[in-house]
Structure 1
Amino acid sequence: MAKKSMIAKNEQRKVIVERYAEKRLELKKALVNPESTPAEREAARLGLQKLPRNASPVRVRNRDAVDGRPRGILTKFGVSRVRFRDMAHRGELPGITKSSW
């Protein structure tokens, strides 16, 4: 089980990313737009720098939905590899069966 403070911090980051997503997208478009002037690009770059660090989606960590484990996450299911194995053995994941050959 991950520390509750780390889980809470990650949840707060998700909220901040969502809050600033539209503004970040506009600034990023201004940076890559070939028709924008160098002054506009500079303004967009400075605008991006003024946003909070946690507004960047890269800073959000994928965590296990059940216990918050930060590594080995299977994105399709939202749980860690360890939790996935346990849930699959107990039959809690529909359509998942243990393979044998």
Structure 2
Amino acid sequence: MSQFRLKKLDLGGFVNTRILRDHTKRRTFEQFEPERQALRYTIRNTSLPQRVRAQAQLQLANMHSNTRSTQIKNRCVEGGTARSVIRAFRLGRYQFRMQALAGELPGVRKASW
């Protein structure tokens, strides 16, 4: 039996390592965003001494990369794919089509004219 156990997360559909990694990146970003904003404000504030601004710049550079917003990628919550994700539903193109045809998405129906 392994010493390490995975934490049970309620992330929705299919869970793979990419989805778990994306989930942890989103949580880390959310946790450190106020601190990053404060450091950015300190760096841009020209009324502060140059030494304080340089220290803030160094602290910001030394923060973990997962605290940046650019590390977060939109992924399908059902399949985990990163391509052709519809942001409003956080679903990939194929999953969106399947759920829309099944009538599982509110306000979405197949067009006919």
TM-score bucket (shorter structure): 0.7 to 0.9
The structure carrying a bigger helix percent of its residues is 1
| Structure 2 match to 1:41 | 53
Runs of 5+ in structure 1 lacking a partner? none
**How far apart are the structure 2 equivalents of 1:38 and 1:81?**
50
**How far apart are the structure 2 equivalents of 1:15 and 1:70?**
18
**How far apart are the structure 2 equivalents of 1:70 and 1:37?**
44
Q: Deviations over 1:39-63 (max 9, x none)?
A: 2221111010111111112101111
Runs of 5+ in structure 2 lacking a partner? 1-13
**How far apart are the structure 1 equivalents of 2:42 and 2:57?**
9
TM-score (norm 2): 0.78
Q: Which amino acid letter does the alignment assign opposite residue 37 of structure 2?
A: L
CA contact (8 A) 2:101 2:110 kept: yes
1:1-101 alignment to 2 at 5 Å? 4-101=16-113
SS in 2 for 1:84: helix
Poorly superposed stretches of 4+, deviation over 4 Å: none
Alignment root-mean-square deviation, CA: 1.8
TM-score (norm 1): 0.86
Deviation at 1:3, TM superposition (A): 7.8
Identity %: 27
